[in-house]
């Protein structure tokens, strides 16, 4: 089975800026373990799997995976995925805005897609009502975990946990220069945040509705180039503390220190104490391709059996040809000329050629992370001779 995938850069109109995202557009039929394995292979902050919705009102279901786990909601995966689906025609183009509903782990949420000349221009996601929790983290320890001094914090604002789908720690800094000084101690920040927050969203306010931010992740990626969920939380936080008027646009610049500038727009509607952010951005497609799903994924327990089977196949092929023929042959059986070095491979005490290997049986293209012949040695296999830098003759 094949699954189509695309990569995009989100919260930008320029390739190789913004926050990278992988989207598998036909994610049905994949197990949770398979989706997590694909997300690890993509090795991006998030990978999205588009599936048929289980809620009738939703157009599609979005499953969002990091390299560690599934997330209920995240901003740049939603923006990027719907921008892509609009480009692919899943959402019919019409001038102005198209409103649809999406199913996420955080529930069924609305999305608006703005078109111009038949092409998507901007995607807006409405997040959940903001939830606030006081942070009990010691500010001196937090400053140390970020490589900062307590004097770098904004004296008029305090760190606070905010969720508009997932919790993030809002960390107000005195100025933009403090953002540039951050040198995170990953293990210390992980200890301080625990399970209470996904990231420390450090920000400094500018004039005219602008903010500058860095999303510090206390796990393998260290920093996020653009974080839509945290940006929505920041908008709600600023409205709550009187730093942003409801309905006004907050323009956030993130990812500059990573050389991946990202532009995020946030508006917050207020009804009584209820604060609901709307996060907007663009995206640009970068790569596309196909993932071939193996009928049976290899496991560690298969390796010894595969090695034995590989050895048997090679020896059977070796028996069909004389050693002198193997040593002197300079042509593959299909007539492709190859070098002597590419023909002669060593397995145990025997010398075998690509011709003998061909006689032993074709490579298995679904051997997964092991060598293509089925043995576990990868690209430098001593059993079948598929060594790095040599000709692949099967």
- Total number of domains in the chain: 3
Task: Give residue 364's pLDDT band: very low, low, confident or very high (50, 70, 90).
Answer: very low
Q: What is the CATH number of the domain that holds 205?
A: 3.10.310.10
Instruction: Pick the closest to residue 41 from 269, 356, 293 (CA basis).
Output: 293
First-to-last C-alpha distance (Å) of the chain: 23
Phi-psi map region of 269: left, alpha, beta (phi>0 left; psi -120 to 50 alpha): beta
Q: Which residue has the tokens 């089925």?
A: 374
pLDDT in tens, 221-271: 899 999 999 999 999 999 999 999 999 999 999 999 999 999 999 999 999
Both 246 and 141 in one domain: the answer is yes
- Same domain for 243 and 262, yes or no, is yes
- 138 and 256 fall within a common domain: yes
CB atoms inside a 10 Å sphere around CB 154:
17
Q: Which pLDDT belongs to residue 219?
A: 83
pLDDT digits (tens, 9 = 90+) for 266-323: 999 999 999 999 999 999 999 999 998 765 555 545 544 544 554 455 445 444 444 4
Write down the mean pLDDT value for the chain: 83
* 346 band by pLDDT with thresholds 50, 70 and 90: very low
CA distance 27 to 5: 9
Residues 149 and 89 in one domain: no
Provide CB contacts within 8 A for 136, sequence distance 6+: none
Phi and psi torsions of 362, nearest 5°:
-70, 160
Query: What span, in angstroms and rounded, lies between the C-alpha atoms of 171 and 299?
Result: 43
**CA separation for the pair 314, 130 (Å, rounded):** 63
Please give the Cα distance from 128 to 73 (Å, whole number).
10
Q: Count how many Cα atoms sit within 13 Å of the Cα of residue 339 in the half-sphere of its side chain.
A: 6
Residue 358 confidence (pLDDT) above 70 = no
For residues 218 and 253, membership in a common domain is answered with: yes
Distance in angstroms (rounded) separating the CA atoms of residues 21 and 163: 22
Top pLDDT among 76 and 340 is at 76
Structure confidence by residue, pLDDT tens digits, 77-126: 999 999 999 999 999 898 889 999 999 999 999 999 999 999 999 999 99
Note if 129 is an active site residue: no
List the domain range (segments joined by +) for residue 306: 300-394
d(CA 280, CA 265): 5
Token code pair at residue 179? 């953002």
- Model pLDDT for residues 159-218, shown as the tens digit of each residue: 999 999 999 999 999 999 999 999 999 999 999 999 999 999 999 999 999 999 999 999
Q: Tokens representing 315? A: 């020896």
Its pTM stands at 0.75
Would you say the C-alpha torsion 216, 217, 220, 223 has a positive or negative sign?
negative
Among 291, 323, 352, give the residue marking a domain's end: 291
pLDDT digits (tens, 9 = 90+) for 15-48: 999 999 999 999 999 999 999 999 999 999 999 9
Q: Which helix (H) or strand (E) holds 358?
A: helix 354-360
SS3 assignment, position 9: strand
The reply to whether 156 and 264 lie within a common domain is: yes
The confidence score (pLDDT) of residue 329 equals 39
Instruction: Quote the strand ranges of 244-307, DSSP E.
Output: 249-254, 262-271, 274-281, 283-292
Total length of the chain: 394
DSSP β-bridge partners for residue 287: 7
The answer to whether 358 touches 394, Cβ cutoff 8 Å, is: yes
332 has pLDDT over 80: no
Residues 168 and 231 placed together within one structural domain of the fold: yes
Element (H, E) at 181: none
Annotated catalytic residue: which of 2, 34, 41, 46? 46
Say yes or no: 163 and 98 in one domain. no
Domain boundary among 256, 291, 326: 291
Residue ending a domain, among 266, 291, 316, is 291
List the beta strands (DSSP E) in the chain. 2-10, 19-24, 47-51, 60-65, 70-71, 96-104, 107-116, 119-126, 131-134, 160-163, 167-172, 200-205, 210-216, 223-224, 249-254, 262-271, 274-281, 283-292, 345-347, 350-352
Q: Do 141 and 265 belong together in one domain?
A: yes
Phi-psi category of 117—alpha, beta or left, where left has phi over 0 and alpha has psi -120 to 50?
A: left
Angle between helices 228-240 and 75-87 (to 10 degrees): 120
User: Same domain, yes or no, for 358 and 317?
Assistant: yes
pLDDT confidence bin for 374, thresholds 50/70/90: very low
Buried b (16+ CB within 10 A) or exposed e, 241-258: eebbeeeeebebbbbbeb
- Residues 267 and 321 placed together within one structural domain of the fold: no
Check whether residue 9 and residue 92 sit in a common domain. yes
């Amino acid at each position: 089975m094949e699954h189509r995938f695309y990569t995009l850069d989100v919260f930008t109109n320029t390739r190789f800026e913004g926050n990278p995202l992988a989207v598998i557009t036909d994610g049905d039929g994949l197990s949770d373990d398979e989706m997590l394995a694909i997300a690890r292979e993509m090795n991006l902050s998030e990978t999205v799997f588009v599936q048929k919705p289980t809620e009738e009102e939703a157009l599609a279901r979005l499953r969002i995976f990091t390299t560690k786990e599934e997330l209920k909601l995240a901003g740049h995966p939603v923006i990027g995925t719907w921008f892509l689906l609009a480009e692919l025609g899943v959402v019919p183009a019409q001038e102005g805005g198209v409103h649809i509903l999406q199913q996420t782990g955080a529930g069924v949420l609305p999305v608006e897609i703005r078109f111009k000349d038949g092409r998507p221009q901007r995607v807006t996601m409405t997040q959940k009502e903001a939830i606030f929790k006081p942070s009990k983290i010691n500010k001196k320890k937090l400053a140390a975990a970020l490589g900062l001094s307590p004097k770098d914090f904004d004296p008029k604002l305090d760190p606070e946990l905010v969720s508009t789908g997932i919790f993030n720690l809002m960390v107000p800094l005195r100025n933009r220069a403090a953002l540039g000084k951050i040198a995170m101690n990953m293990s210390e920040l992980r200890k301080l945040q625990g399970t209470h927050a996904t990231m420390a969203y450090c920000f400094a306010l500018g004039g005219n509705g602008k903010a500058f931010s860095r999303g510090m992740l206390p796990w393998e990626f260290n920093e996020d180039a653009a974080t839509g969920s945290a940006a929505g939380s920041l908008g709600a936080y600023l409205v709550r503390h009187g730093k942003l008027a409801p309905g006004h646009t907050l323009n956030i610049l993130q990812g500059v220190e990573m050389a991946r500038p990202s532009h995020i727009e946030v508006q917050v509607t207020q009804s009584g104490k209820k604060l609901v952010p709307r996060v907007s951005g663009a995206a640009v497609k970068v790569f596309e391709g196909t993932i071939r799903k193996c009928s049976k994924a290899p496991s560690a327990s298969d390796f010894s059996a595969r090695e034995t089977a590989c050895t048997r196949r090679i020896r059977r092929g070796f028996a069909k040809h004389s050693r002198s023929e193997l040593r002197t042959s300079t042509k593959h059986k299909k007539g492709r000329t190859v070098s002597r070095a590419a023909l002669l491979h060593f397995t145990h005490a025997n010398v075998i050629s690509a011709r003998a290997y061909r006689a032993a049986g074709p490579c298995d293209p679904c051997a997964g992370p092991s060598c293509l012949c089925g043995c576990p040695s990868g690209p430098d296999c001593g059993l079948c001779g598929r060594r790095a830098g040599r000709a692949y003759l099967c």
